[in-house]
Amino acid sequence: MQSFFERDIKYLPGVGPARSKLLGEELKIFTFKDLIEFYPYKYVDRSKVYPICQVHGDMPYIQLCGTILSFEEIGVQRAHRLVAHFSDDTGVIDLVWFKGIKYVLERLKPGVEYVVFGKPSVFGGRINISHPDIDPADKVELSSMGLCPSYSTTEKMKKSGLNSRAVSKLMETLLGMVAEPFPETLPQWIVARYGLMPYDAAIRTIHFPTDNVRLKNAQYRLKFEELFQIQLNIARYTSERKRKLKGFVFDKVGDFFNDFYSHNLPYQLTNAQKRVIKEIRYDTCTGAQMNRLLQGDVGSGKTMVALMTMLIAADNGFQACLMAPTEILAEQHFSNLNGYLDGLGLHVELLTGSIKGKRRERILAELADGSVHILVSTHAVLEENVNFYRLGMVVIDEQHRFGVEQRSRMWTKNTTPPHILVMTATPIPRTLAMTLYGDLDVSQIDELPPGRKPVMTLHRYDRNYNELYAFVDRELDKGRQIYFVFPLITESEKSDLKNLEDGYAFLCERFARFKVSMVHGKMKPADKDAQMQMFKSGESRILVATTVIEVGVDVPNASVMVIENAERFGLSQLHQLRGRVGRGADQSYCILVTGVKLTDIARSRMEIMTATTDGFEIAEADLKLRGPGDLEGTQQSGIAFDLKIANITKDAQIIQTVRELACRIVADDPELSLPENALLAQGQRARRNRVFDLSFIS
């Protein structure tokens, strides 16, 4: 069977060299097995034929039967298209082609009865179907066609006649070549326990479903297996890492922690903060290296958790490092930490790219001799000449801003890797986290500090500025501070986006009674710092900025966030920006300003932002709008989600099930050497191109 699966696709009758080249280039189908695992992306019920008079623009794919009255070519260049007026006894509808016009004209003739299949939509006020599947009616046996699979194909394939139907034909040939059942790929005990459809039936059903119930079962079985193999891989990897990697043991909580807790802690910790600190405390005394992801929405108080974690390190004689993605944030952490730690006798230092000369040399020396307890830094810490005396704990703030490689470089600062806590407010949906960071332990702060009012989010069009400024006036009169965020720094020929420089000039004039600060990425660090300081102290009441303030910046008195050209920002960015307000006890506002014309995606983003302040909901929505491949952080992590059938967002329940199963199996049989797991061991070995090397994720 193995050799059958691995046979080159060009040997399949009906393929040949030209088509095999196409299949390889366009769909990465090289072998029989690749084709078998090329599953339909949807199914359509082709047993029903609609009369044209009942067709409307919101229908899914439908089937019509009738004749072409006439053809018409209209439009020029990109709008050039071929329209066929298609009619049955009940009405007329337009079929439209933008490409392959010559081919269509050669193949289709007026007066012949055709079966048309496609998705109706409304264009220019008329209902039409563009690029339909179309066949002579006498060639189609309507009654025998039930659920029809659709395979995704590319333009290039379609031009060579390799459309969905042709792929289905190939599938028929291929499956027809195998008379005996395909061997089962999962151990019998798993198939039985989870009531799964056998592999053979699942494969045959997925390509040629007879009814909806069997189709659902087949899909479940194949998704289950796909996700299970991934989770099994992660579980094996994690268990091996935990067995092999030694970590520092922080066996006590000492004076630094206790003194801070009883004298300096400015508020009560939330229960979520307490729980996470306990989880970290537990991890760091097991003797294994901690590798923990801390997720907590913006404003949930992750910094305090980081601080107390670092105090535990200090209590055990280790140094700690807090890494921030921007200088602004590093400086803010540094000044906050100094405030919090006042009088405890801890030596905290700041190291960024703009700290140079004598001061830098002194800090480097004090890091190396161990007199610095806590270092707050940016990527500057990754440089080779930065060496620690005894680095025991690294906290990486806003981890999505760091590349994988940068994160992994922290490991090489020691022979024994330090404990690592990565913090993020870009909530990775649970299902994605399980797949992406399967080997990281995940902690969650799922509770905001008490007394916070949810930020009220409004979407406003840019023609209503007067109202907006009047509102800002009222907030300023109440003593509040305001952010204005712009997508660009300077005017650009290429785009008509609002820019910060013009915005700053305008706002200075419009709100002349107050001082206005400005920060952006191109400013000198010292200027940036001075401007930030001015805003933080309340001396300036308006801060005009680019997205440099997106992460971390904490000014509780700021209560309004105005985002210009909000349509230009992604959901997670908008959510981060919104997180800059709502940090004090007052009602805060986030105002998303856009033009009137918006793309569908931009409009959905505005709707989601105004509907919810829950970061997890937003992340889920983001995933749905963009697909996991685009999610921030997943691209740079280099892990391709080439899932063949499962869907990370939609199949959360299955992921949960298979993860538990995988963990149990690995706990009992880490090497998969028991006879009942033989098939699993084989499956894991066969996972081509799927090395989930998560070792360097953190």
Binding site for ligand ADP (CB under 6 A): 267-270, 273, 296, 298-304, 425, 449, 554, 556, 583
Q: Which of 689, 582, 642, 606 is nearest to 299 (CA)?
A: 582
Residue 73 CB partners (closer than 8 Å, separation 6+): 80, 81, 82, 83, 101
CB 87 within 8 A of CB 67: yes
Residue that has been written with the tokens 């501070």 in this structure: 481
Closer CB to Mg ion, 551 or 609, in the complex? 551
Instruction: State the pairing for strand pair 456-461/589-594.
Output: parallel
Q: Whole-angstrom Cα distance, residue 621 to residue 145? A: 36
298 binds, among Mg ion, ligand ADP, none (CB under 5 to 8 A by kind): ligand ADP
Structure tokens belonging to residue 345: 């006798």
Closer CB to ligand ADP, 530 or 585, in the complex? 585
Closer CB to ligand ADP, 265 or 640, in the complex? 265
Q: Report the nearest approach of ligand ADP to the CB of residue 180 (Å).
A: 59
Furthest C-alpha separation in the chain: 93
Closer CB to Mg ion, 397 or 567, in the complex? 397
Q: Whole-angstrom Cα distance, residue 214 to residue 203? A: 11
Cα 179 off chain centre by:
43
Closer CB to Mg ion, 66 or 427, in the complex? 427
449 binds, among Mg ion, ligand ADP, none (CB under 5 to 8 A by kind): ligand ADP
Q: Report the nearest approach of ligand ADP to the CB of residue 327 (Å).
A: 17
DSSP E strand boundaries for 98-144: 113-118, 120-123, 126-130, 133-136
Q: Report the nearest approach of ligand ADP to the CB of residue 81 (Å).
A: 51
Residue that has been written with the tokens 């140094």 in this structure: 319
Residue that has been written with the tokens 């303030």 in this structure: 549
Cα 583 off chain centre by:
26
Q: Report the nearest approach of ligand ADP to the CB of residue 386 (Å).
A: 24
Closer CB to Mg ion, 247 or 552, in the complex? 552
Closer CB to Mg ion, 68 or 330, in the complex? 330
Q: Which of 305, 18, 359 is nearest to 157 (CA)?
A: 18
412 binds, among Mg ion, ligand ADP, none (CB under 5 to 8 A by kind): none
Task: Give residue number: closest CB to ligand ADP.
Answer: 301
Structure tokens belonging to residue 522: 């191109």
438 binds, among ligand ADP, Mg ion, none (CB under 5 to 8 A by kind): none
Amino acid at 637: S
Where helices occur in 511-570 by DSSP H, the ranges are 525-536
Q: Report the nearest approach of Mg ion to the CB of residue 300 (Å).
A: 9
Q: Which of 487, 689, 682 is nearest to 602 (CA)?
A: 487
Closer CB to ligand ADP, 270 or 565, in the complex? 270
Q: Report the nearest approach of Mg ion to the CB of residue 397 (Å).
A: 6
Closer CB to ligand ADP, 27 or 425, in the complex? 425
Q: Whole-angstrom Cα distance, residue 493 to residue 40? A: 45
Q: Report the nearest approach of ligand ADP to the CB of residue 304 (Å).
A: 5
| Interacting positions 326-345 with Mg ion (CB under 5 A) | none
Closer CB to ligand ADP, 188 or 268, in the complex? 268
Q: Whole-angstrom Cα distance, residue 240 to residue 326? A: 35
Closer CB to ligand ADP, 112 or 585, in the complex? 585
| Interacting positions 29-58 with Mg ion (CB under 5 A) | none
Closer CB to ligand ADP, 520 or 575, in the complex? 575
Q: Report the nearest approach of ligand ADP to the CB of residue 116 (Å).
A: 55
Q: Whole-angstrom Cα distance, residue 573 to residue 548? A: 11
407 binds, among ligand ADP, Mg ion, none (CB under 5 to 8 A by kind): none
Q: Whole-angstrom Cα distance, residue 306 to residue 320? A: 10
Q: What are phi and psi of 656, to 5 degrees?
A: -55, -50
**How many of the chain's residues bind Mg ion (CB under 5 A)?**
1
Closer CB to ligand ADP, 270 or 613, in the complex? 270
269 binds, among Mg ion, ligand ADP, none (CB under 5 to 8 A by kind): ligand ADP
CA angle 234, 240, 245 (to 5 degrees): 120
536 binds, among Mg ion, ligand ADP, none (CB under 5 to 8 A by kind): none
By CB under 5 A, tell whether 582 contacts Mg ion. no
304 binds, among ligand ADP, Mg ion, none (CB under 5 to 8 A by kind): ligand ADP
CB 519 within 8 A of CB 548: yes
Q: Report the nearest approach of ligand ADP to the CB of residue 268 (Å).
A: 6
Q: Which of 571, 574, 658, 659 is nearest to 623 (CA)?
A: 571
Residue 624 CB partners (closer than 8 Å, separation 6+): 649
Q: Report the nearest approach of ligand ADP to the CB of residue 515 (Å).
A: 23
Q: Whole-angstrom Cα distance, residue 437 to residue 417? A: 18
394 binds, among Mg ion, ligand ADP, none (CB under 5 to 8 A by kind): none
Q: Report the nearest approach of Mg ion to the CB of residue 330 (Å).
A: 12
Q: Report the nearest approach of ligand ADP to the CB of residue 451 (Å).
A: 8
556 binds, among Mg ion, ligand ADP, none (CB under 5 to 8 A by kind): ligand ADP
Cα 669 off chain centre by:
33
Site string for Mg ion, 543-572 (x = CB under 5 A): ---------x--------------------
Q: What are phi and psi of 275, to 5 degrees?
A: -60, -45
Residue that has been written with the tokens 């990486």 in this structure: 396
Task: Give residue number: closest CB to Mg ion.
Answer: 552
Q: Report the nearest approach of Mg ion to the CB of residue 302 (Å).
A: 5
Closer CB to ligand ADP, 94 or 446, in the complex? 446
399 binds, among Mg ion, ligand ADP, none (CB under 5 to 8 A by kind): none
Instruction: Give burial (CB, 10 Å; 0-12/13-18/19+) of 389.
Output: middle
296 binds, among Mg ion, ligand ADP, none (CB under 5 to 8 A by kind): ligand ADP
Q: Which residues bind Mg ion (CB under 5 A)?
A: 552
